[in-house]
Amino acid sequence: MERLKRIILIVGLITEGTWGLHLNAQEKLQLGISTQIHNTRLMVDLSSTHVKGAYRPTNVLFAEYSFGKHLAIHTGLGYTMMTQNSDAFKNNFHYLALPLYLKIGRLKDDKRLTFKSFIGMDMHYLLKATHITPNGNETDIMEYSRKFHSDLVGGAGIKVRLSDRFFMEGLVSVSFGSNVAIDNAALMDINNLNTGYRLNLLYKF
Amino acid sequence: MIIVLFLISCESQEPIDESMPLEQKIDLLVEPIVAFGNPSATIIGIVQNGERSFYSYGDAGLGSGPPLPNTIFEIGSITKTYTATLLSQFIMEGLVSLDDPVDKFLPDSVDPPTFEGQPIRLRHLVTHTSGLPREIYNFDADYSVMWSELEIEDLYTFLNDISRQAYPFGDYTNGNELQSLGKVFNYSNVGMAILGHILELVSGEKFDQLVEERICSMLNMDDTKIYRNLTQEQKERIPKAYDINQYENDFPHEMGAYVSAGGLLSTVDDMLDYMEANMEDSSFLSQSMQKCQEGIYYEEDLPGTFPKGIADAIGMAWFISHENGDTIAYHNGGYNHLSYIKFNRTKKLGVVAFSNTASEVGPRLIETIFDWINE
């Protein structure tokens, strides 16, 4: 219950300035669903450079509010997963995902194809973390993992107008985050590098 | 956003209080690391106040969970301390001297390089001051060359190539002479391999026989052998190994002509026996071990090249520190597995550790644990 309260508080704080106040703003608000697969690599102290990646999903319900001719705020709520994938073991991290992006590109949807780019942060709240050995033994590693984790993220792609109200975006993204693990006595950091492909379906109010 | 960033920055592990019991401190130190697989399995053995304790974490992949005191790991370069112990015994028996030149023992067909007319001597080989390169080949450039395939003839060819300036992997000669001798520290696996081979030539026995007869059998170390001498049951006690990126490492456990530089496998149980023998002085074996822990070259003798921070002297293979009148000896090793041994001979305490993952983190952990028990 305490965790739920904290989530609601954070979501409220972050989003009240965007979709909360502008739900009725004609032509400026778009709601959508985003699905992404991203190749996650979790690296120890940045010294492990070829860690085996694994494709994992992200699904987010989002809202975009535009201002000016080229800028929009994009935020939402969803689920994402990251994996530390190795021959020795596998660590799975399940997060509540909260993106907060500044989207840059032509906002006027008078063309069938427009270029879009974005930069921002993916904020994560840890729901579950497990360590799985090759023979299938699973242990909870929540106590060693950060409850809150954020990535810097950027990407670009195209937006396709499907109809007057519906649009589709195809974007590639790169994100980097540090400190998946909590600060520990051995001063070991776990960092993540993700490359992703995302598909957004948008409805324009 | 500010609140989230604040929350992120606040998350940290329960701090380790120096007053905590050792077991609790080690758990707090190692468990978070093993959870993220670097290393993914590790075992630590400690001798303190005449008692042994074991701390084991992760999954060794052998069906029994964490590594056990009898789980067999490569000890890698810690093998060099066995080679040095054999050398020390040979010296005590009058068979060789540290000042003997290597060409006294090698076949006539071998022409070892010199420096200003001075030959490489056994003291140079056992202290990594011979001026020879780290490896017989440039392994960074040629991973296809496996140590397991190295033969004694390769060592001979290598020495002749250095002398003839035909060594293809770097300039180690000045004219047809070495660049240095006894003045520069350059950790050399090939130097220790040549030393081990010389001991074989002197004794007429193979290195593994010498180790078995002169060290392991004396200490009842039944699980300390080269790979091919292990029984099938012992081989099944070897965990898989992983590189720094946590891919499986499957280099052969055999070391070929490098056997005396890194070819032994052992257990924490056996290595604690070995460490305790190194801290005693009651037997011929222990006395030969203690001779290895006397500094031969000090940091100031090898300016700019002696590795900083780990010791102040190099003895026969051991890195030696002198702190508050105590003598502390250290060596580590790593090929498929990682190994570590450090002990305070004066206080008769120490730590041995093995892990299955190449990691910069592992040695850091063990240094911390040693500092805790050595306080």
Domain residue ranges in chain A: 2-204
> What are the residues whose beta carbons fall under 8 Å from the beta carbon of B132, sequence distance 6 or more?
B120, B162, B172, B178, B186, B188, B190, B191, B194
Compute how many other C-beta atoms are within 10 angstroms of the C-beta atom of residue A9.
11
Asked if pLDDT for residue B296 goes beyond 80, the answer is yes
B171 or A166, higher pLDDT: A166
In this predicted structure, the answer to whether residue B363 has a pLDDT above a threshold of 90 is: no
pLDDT at B346 over 60: yes
Question: Rounded to a whole number, what is the distance in Å from the CA of B21 to chain A's nearest CA?
Answer: 16
- Contact criterion met (CB below 8 Å) for B202 and B195: no
- CA A132 to chain B, closest CA, distance in angstroms equals 10
Reading the block at residue B16, the tokens are 């380790």
What local confidence, expressed as pLDDT, does residue A28 receive? 82
B106 has a pLDDT exceeding 80: yes
Q: Using alpha carbons only, give the angle B24, B26, B32 rounded to the nearest 5 degrees.
A: 100
SS3 readout for chain B: CHHHHHHHHHCECCCCCCCCCHHHHHHHHHHHHHHCCCCCEEEEEEEECCEEEEEEEECCCCCCCCCCCCCCEECHHHHHHHHHHHHHHHHHCCCCCCCCEHHHCCCCCCCCCEECCEECEHHHHHCCCCCCCCCCCCCCCCCCCCHHHCCHHHHHHHHHHHHCCCCCCCCCEECCEECCCCCCCCCCHHHHHHHHHHHHHHHCCCHHHHHHHHHHCCCCCCCCEEHHHCCHHHHCCCCCEECCCCCEECCCCCCHHHHHHHCEEECHHHHHHHHHHHCCCCCHHHHHHHHHCCCCEEHHHCCCCCCCCCCCEECCCCEEEEECCEEEEEEEEECCCEEEEEEECCCCEEEEEEECECCCHHHHHHHHHHHHHCC
B-chain residues near A52 (CB < 8 A): 245-247
CA distance A49 to chain B (A): 7
If interface means Cβ-Cβ distance under 8 Å, which residues of chain B face chain A?
A: 1, 3-5, 7-8, 11-13, 15-16, 28-33, 35-38, 40-41, 59, 61, 63, 65, 240, 242, 244-248, 356-357, 359-361, 364-365, 368
For residue A91, the chain B residues in CB contact (below 8 A) are 35-37
Instruction: Flag whether pLDDT at B229 surpasses 50.
Output: yes
Helices B284-292, B268-278: crossing angle, 10 deg rounding: 80
pLDDT band at B3 (very low <50, low <70, confident <90, very high): low
Q: Give the contacts of A6 (CB within 8 A, at least 6 positions apart).
A: A125
What burial class does residue B338 get, using C-beta atoms within 10 Å of its C-beta: 0-12 exposed, 13-18 middle, 19+ buried? buried
Mean pLDDT value across residues B180-209: 96
Quick check: B36 and A84 CB within 8 A?
A: yes
- Predicted confidence at residue A158, as pLDDT, reads 94
Query: Is the pTM higher than 0.95?
Result: no
Contact A48 B245 (CB under 8 A): yes
CA angle (A170, A176, A179) in 5-degree steps: 145
The model's pLDDT over B297-321, given as tens digits with 9 standing for 90+, comes to: 999 999 999 988 889 999 999 999 9
With beta carbons less than 8 A apart as the criterion, state whether B38 and A188 touch. Answer: yes
- pLDDT for A20: 34
Is the four-CA dihedral B108, B112, B117, B120 of positive or negative sign?
Answer: negative
- Residues near B101 by beta carbon (within 8 Å), at least 6 away in sequence: B112, B119, B120, B121
How large is the C-alpha radius of gyration of chain B? 21
The whole-number average pLDDT for the span B345-356 is 96
Kindly report whether the peptide bond that precedes residue B39 is cis, defined as omega within 30 degrees of 0: yes
**What fold is seen in the domain A2-204?**
Porin (2.40.160)
| Residue B144 pLDDT > 60 | no
What is the tens place of the pLDDT at every residue in B61-98?
888 789 999 999 999 999 999 999 999 999 999 999 99
Distance between CA A61 and CA A42 in Å, rounded? Answer: 26
Compare all CA atoms of chain A with the CA of B364 and give the residue at the minimum distance: A186
CB B40 within 8 A of CB B246: yes
Tens digits of per-residue pLDDT, B258-278? 999 999 999 999 999 999 999
pLDDT of residue A9: 44
The pLDDT value given to residue B49:
92
Judge whether residue B56 has pLDDT over 80.
Answer: yes
d(CA B251, CA A126): 38
- Pull the structure tokens for residue B127: 């202290």
Question: Of A85, A64, A67, which Cα lies nearest the Cα of A75?
Answer: A64
Please indicate whether, in this complex, the C-beta atoms of B4 and A150 are within 8 angstroms of each other.
yes
Identify the pLDDT of residue A159. 92
Confidence check: pLDDT of B25 > 90: yes
Residues in chain A, pLDDT under 50: 8-25
Smallest Cβ–Cβ distance between A183 and the set B11, B40, B364 belongs to B11
- Which of A13, A86, A121, A126 is the best mutation test for B, with the most CBs of B within 10 A? A86
Q: Best residue in B5, B246, B337, B355 to probe A by mutation, most A CBs within 10 Å?
A: B246
Sign of CA dihedral B297, B300, B304, B306: positive
Q: How far is B15 from chain A (nearest CA, A)?
A: 7
Q: Domains plus CATH for chain B?
A: 16-105+193-373 (3.40.710.10)
Q: Is residue A87 within 8 Å of residue A51, measured between CB atoms?
A: no
User: What is the rounded average pLDDT for all residues in chain B?
Assistant: 91
* Chain A residue with Cα closest to B17: A185
pLDDT value at position B331? Answer: 96
Type of residue numbered A171: L
Q: Is B329 left (phi over 0), alpha (psi -120 to 50) or beta?
A: beta
Quick check: B29 and A131 CB within 8 A?
no
Nearest CA of chain A to the CA of B288: how many Å?
Answer: 36
The answer to whether residue B23 scores a pLDDT higher than 70 is yes
Query: What pLDDT, on the 0 to 100 scale, is given for residue A8?
Result: 47
Q: Check B3 against A42: CB less than 8 A apart.
A: no
Percent of chain B with pLDDT over 70: 95
- pLDDT for residue B280 is more than 60: yes
Residue of A nearest to B32 (CA): A144
Out of B5, B13, B35, the one facing A131 most closely (by C-beta) is: B35
B8: chain A residues, CB-CB within 8 Å: 146, 148-150, 179
Chains A, B: CB contacts under 8 A, how many? Answer: 131
Residue A95: left if φ>0, alpha if ψ -120 to 50, beta else—which one? beta
Dist. CA B86–CA A162, nearest whole Å: 80
Q: What is the reported pLDDT for B6?
A: 53
Of B1, B32, B368, the CB nearest to A144: B32
Q: How many CA atoms lie within 13 A of B154 on its CB side?
A: 16
CA distance B168 to B130: 19
Helix, coil or strand: residue A166: strand
The pLDDT score that the predictor gives to residue A68 is 80
pLDDT for B238 equals 96
Pairwise CA distance, residues B13 & A189, whole Å: 12
d(CA A112, CA A89): 46
Closest of A44, A185, A182 to residue B371, by C-alpha: A185
Q: Which residues of A make CB contacts under 8 Å with B?
A: 10, 13-14, 42, 44-45, 47-52, 84, 86-89, 91, 100, 121, 123, 131, 133-135, 137, 139, 141, 144, 146-150, 179, 181-188, 190
Instruction: Give A144's contacts in chain B (Cβ within 8 Å).
Output: 13, 31-32, 35-36
> CA-to-CA distance for A121 and B170, rounded, in angstroms?
48
Would the CB atoms of A100 and B360 count as touching at under 8 Å?
no
Contact B32 A135 (CB under 8 A): no
| Count of Cβ atoms closer than 10 Å to residue A17 Cβ | 12
